[in-house]
Copies of this chain bind each other. A is one copy, B any other.
C-alpha cells in the first residue's frame, strides 16, 4: 500500500532495515519488524524439517517444499511417502486453480472422462485411509496459544509449526485450513482420500473445511508458484483445456535425495521466544505507518518463517 518513491519512509514503515527508535517523546518505540526479530533469533530456535516429512515438488518454474504433519495425519503422511518413493506424482499435473480457494494437483486422468482404468496405479499405497480430520488432544505436543479468540474454535494456536484449533470439551484438535496448508482430496466417502490428490489454500482461509478434510501439511517454500497461476475458467477452477495444466516434474522425499540436493531450509520453532515475539509484533504493530495497532491477531495471519541455510550447514 506504500508508494515506493519514498524509499526512506518505506524502509521505516516496513522495517526492512534496522532503525533506531524514534525520538518522539510521547509514543513507544516502533514495533520491530519481522526481519529485525529474525536477525536476533538464536540458532536453537530453528529446526531442520525431518527429511522423511519434507516433500520436494519440482515444477518447471521452481521448487515447492511441503512439510508433512506426521503427528496430525500419520496415515496420510505414510501413504504420501509411499507414493513419493514410487515416483507416483512424476508427470502428473496441477489441474485446478480456483480463485480465493485452492490450487490442486494430481492425476489429470481424473478429469478426463472418469474412466478408472486410465488412472495411474497407486502401487503399494493405500486406496482408502481413515479420515484423520481431527486427532485426540496430545498434551505432549508443544502448544503456543493465541490470545485473541477465533470465530470457529474454542482455542487456536501453533503446534510443531502448524496452525491448530482445539476443543477442550471434545478433547479433539485439528489442523486449520490457513493459507498454504495442504489438504488431501477425497470423494464423498470420508475414507476415500489417500493423498494422491492434494491441494493448497491460496485465499482467505476456508475454515468450513476444518474437520471435514484431512490436512496433511504446509507449503514452507514456493507458495507463489502455486498461487500465482491463472485461475481455471469453471466454477470450481479446473483447467478445462488440458494444455493449461502445469506438469509436475517430480515429487521426492528429501530423504530420498542425495545429500547435495536436499533442501537446506530451516523453519522457526513455533514454541520459541522469537516466534512469540513475532506474534506480539503482529498483534501490536505500531510505527510511523501503523498509527492504530490492531491489538489482536487471527490465527491465519501469522506466518511461520522459513530460511535457507548456507551450503556449509551453518545458520546464517
Contact = CB atoms under 8 A, between A and B. Distances in A.
A294 B210 contact: yes
Interface string A103-137: 01010011101111001000000000000010000
B228 A188 contact: no
A151 B206 CA distance: 16
A211 B292 contact: yes
A223 B100 contact: yes
A91 interface: no
A16 B235 contact: yes
A14 B96 CA distance: 15
A311 interface: no
Given A1-B102, A3-B110, A292-B212, A151 B188 contact: no
Which of A97, A111, A114, A301 is packed against the most chain B CB atoms within 10 Å? Answer: A301
Contacts of A75: none
A114 B106 CA distance: 46
A300 interface: yes
Given A228-B228, A296-B152, A4 B208 contact: no
Interface stretch (A82-90, A177-185, A269-277): A177-185
A151 B298 contact: yes
B99 A294 contact: no
Interface stretch (A36-44, A196-204, A250-258): A196-204
Contacts of A113: 5
A246 to B, nearest CB: 13
Interface residues of A, number: 83
A178 B204 contact: yes
A285 B203 CA distance: 19
A12 interface: yes
B188 A104 contact: no
A125 to B, nearest CB: 15
Contacts of A73: none
Contacts of A291: 190, 212
Interface in A13-67: 13-14, 16
A307 interface: no
Contacts of A203: 179, 202-204, 227
A301 B204 contact: yes
Given A3-B186, A179-B204, 10 more contacts: A2-B186, A4-B95, A5-B115, A6-B188, A97-B228, A99-B227, A152-B296, A204-B300, A212-B291, A224-B231
